[in-house]
Chain A
Amino acid sequence: MASDAPDAPGDGATRLVLFLCLSLVVLTIAVAAATAIGDYNIAPRTVVLSVTNELGLTGADIAPIEQSVVWNLRLSRALVAALAGAGLAICGAILQALLRNALAEPFVLGVSAGASTGAVCVIVLGIGAGSLSLSLGAFAGAFAAFALVALLSNGATSGPNHTILAGVAASQLFNALTSYIVTTSGNAQQARDVMFWLLGSFGGVRWPDFQLLLAVVIGGLGVCIWMARSLDAFTFGDEDAAALGVPVARIRLVLFGVTALLTATIVSMVGAIGFVGLVVPHAARYVVGPLHLRLLPACAVVGAVFMVVADIAARVIATQQTVPIGVVTALVGVPFFAIILYRARPQA
């Protein structure tokens, strides 16, 4: 626990800074590895020089094709993966705090499913066109899912478990809608593409995706950190938070909005990836403790590392074919989650 330091609150902060620095180093290595590993491997030296060439720092003599693969395909992909992991982990931490439920995350609450339905409406039914309308469709879907969950769980007046049940219902509904739209669209190839995309894939992401996601993740993280103290006050429930001076309704509205925006942006780019939002906050809490001012940055870096590594694994497990990223996060996530549950069991 971070706060078991006697009376020097600074100790926890030092530990956090150390942890963040270490994680950033690991993240850099992971991104470099993700850039080097692929259908054909590129030497680490070439990777580094390609990047410095593109940044105008060096003028090394690299085969243009390799430089292009590193910069245009793999680096953008690795960085989008990092941001997606960070974003989903933040969403998980926020939802777990606001709903006071260890199981809360965008995937479980049906927000990812809603975003998928929205995105599929755009792709298959051809409502609007272009990547902006895809994001808008996903955002509308994510919001519809949030609204449905809020409606089913009777605002926030019923208990935290009720919200999870509502989330389960919402994800069933939206997954059914997605399947219905895909299967009745009558285009087999398109249907297969969409299904693959739904399980998550970083193939096809490029620099513009990175820029959009960077803006959304940094903005979202900033808002969440600004509200971190208020999130801590939710520890003993909404009413207790209100008694501590937190404007509960406003905080919930803003943070649910941020969560929906982050989830929708990520889903519209790379599909619905589960388990990151669930596992990472628990792991991060284990290291830096439950206070959100520390937890949220920790979630962001751990989530980023997790997703980049998962993407490498997805490409390495089966060469030739790419395994959907959601499969990998679940394969890694479930055993990891079991360990956390086991270690966190109450000492009777």
Chain B
Amino acid sequence: MSVVARNLTWGVPRKTIVSDVSLTAAPGETLGLIGPNGSGKSSLLRLLAGLKTPASGRVEINGQDIARVSRKALSRQVAFVQQNAATDTNVTVRDVVRLGRTPHRSALAGWSETDETAVAHALARVDMTSRRAQPWQTLSGGERQRVHIARALAQTPQVMFLDEPTNHLDIHHQIEILRMVRDLDLTSVIALHDLNLAAMFCDRIVVLESGTVRATGTPAAVLTRAILRDVFRVDAQVSGTPDAGRPHIRFSPE
């Protein structure tokens, strides 16, 4: 399924946070969203997932304006992994992943074979099967993040929006999760801070700067020295790597 944003604008009184953003993610594509803190990545992802209503512009998923699709129908196709999920409720890992089945179940329907398979599969994908009975409160930050990704997977979506999914993850799981998202047969938009990970796993990258799109294109086209200097205010060396011309960024300590 494709994701298309057309001239999205959103803000709070006296401040425009997302300004005239247009982007396209082709079916199956992994689109990276990078930009400094406060550049509007999370806000844009919420707009794309239909969790906020844009002041103007619209989002089309598979050619359909999401403002006209019911919440439930939308969430059968679209999953959203938020940046910092937290709860005080004493739930287990399994309970949390089971929540991912919510859009697929009617009010009083029992737990079906399909539901069970989806949950088991999702837990296995993030390496958390053996932890399924553990209370969510007792998980480490990275384990929580993985459980939330599993929940999104249990939703069996065709489009996935992930807000810094590699937060708190060790390097093995960072690579594991991003590789998994890339290899899954779905369209994904991922906000990332690690530019090298973005370069390695994204098909294309959108650079946000103060709520506007600064650049869009392949990692090699976007991750240039000039953009790193202007947008991220760092001095860096960009070199090509042997595999498929993905750029590698080396930051200078000075």
Contact = CB atoms under 8 A, between A and B. Distances in A.
Contacts of B2: none
A239 interface: yes
6 contacts: A3-B94, A4-B92, A100-B88, A233-B102, A242-B71, A247-B70
B80 A245 contact: no
A40 interface: no
Interface residues of A, number: 36
A245 B102 contact: yes
Contact of A229 (B87, B107, B138): B107
Contacts of B155: 244
A235 B96 contact: yes
A232 B99 contact: yes
B138 A7 contact: no
B72 A226 contact: no
Interface in B34-88: 46, 49, 51, 70-76, 79-80, 82, 85-88
Interface string A281-309: 00001000111010000000000000000
Given A3-B92, A229-B105, A244-B75, 14 more contacts: A7-B120, A100-B87, A100-B89, A233-B102, A235-B87, A236-B82, A237-B86, A239-B46, A243-B79, A244-B99, A244-B100, A246-B72, A289-B95, A344-B90
A66 interface: no
A9 interface: yes
B171 interface: no
Interface string A329-348: 00000000000000010110
Interface in A218-243: 225-230, 232-233, 235-237, 239-240, 242-243
| 3 closest residue pairs by CB, A with B | A245-B75, A245-B103, A245-B72
B92 A1 contact: yes
A246 B102 contact: yes
Contact of A245 (B74, B90, B95, B133): B74
A122 B4 CA distance: 58
A236 B76 contact: no
A232 B90 contact: no
Interface of B: 46, 49, 51, 70-76, 79-80, 82, 85-92, 94-96, 98-100, 102-103, 105, 107-108, 111, 116, 120, 133, 135, 137-138, 155
A6 B94 CA distance: 9
Nearest to B80: A243
Contact of A1 (B72, B73, B88, B135): B135
B148 to A, nearest CB: 8
B162 to A, nearest CB: 12
B90 A243 contact: no
Interface in A4-59: 4, 6-7, 9
Given A243-B79, A245-B75, A3 B51 contact: no
A315 B166 CA distance: 61
Looking at A3, A100, A226, A285, the one whose CB has the most chain B CB atoms below 10 A away is A3
A239 B82 contact: yes
Contact of B102 (A100, A101, A229): A229
A290 B91 CA distance: 7
Given A245-B71, A245-B72, A247-B71, A240 B94 contact: no
B87 A7 contact: no
A235 B91 contact: yes
Given A102-B88, A226-B108, A243 B51 contact: yes
Contacts of A228: 107
Nearest to A227: B107
A236 B87 contact: yes
Looking at B46, B94, B99, B111, the one whose CB has the most chain A CB atoms below 10 A away is B99
Contacts of A239: 46, 51, 82
B90 A347 contact: no
A256 to B, nearest CB: 19
A3 B91 CA distance: 9
Given A3-B95, A233-B99, A235-B96, A245 B88 contact: no
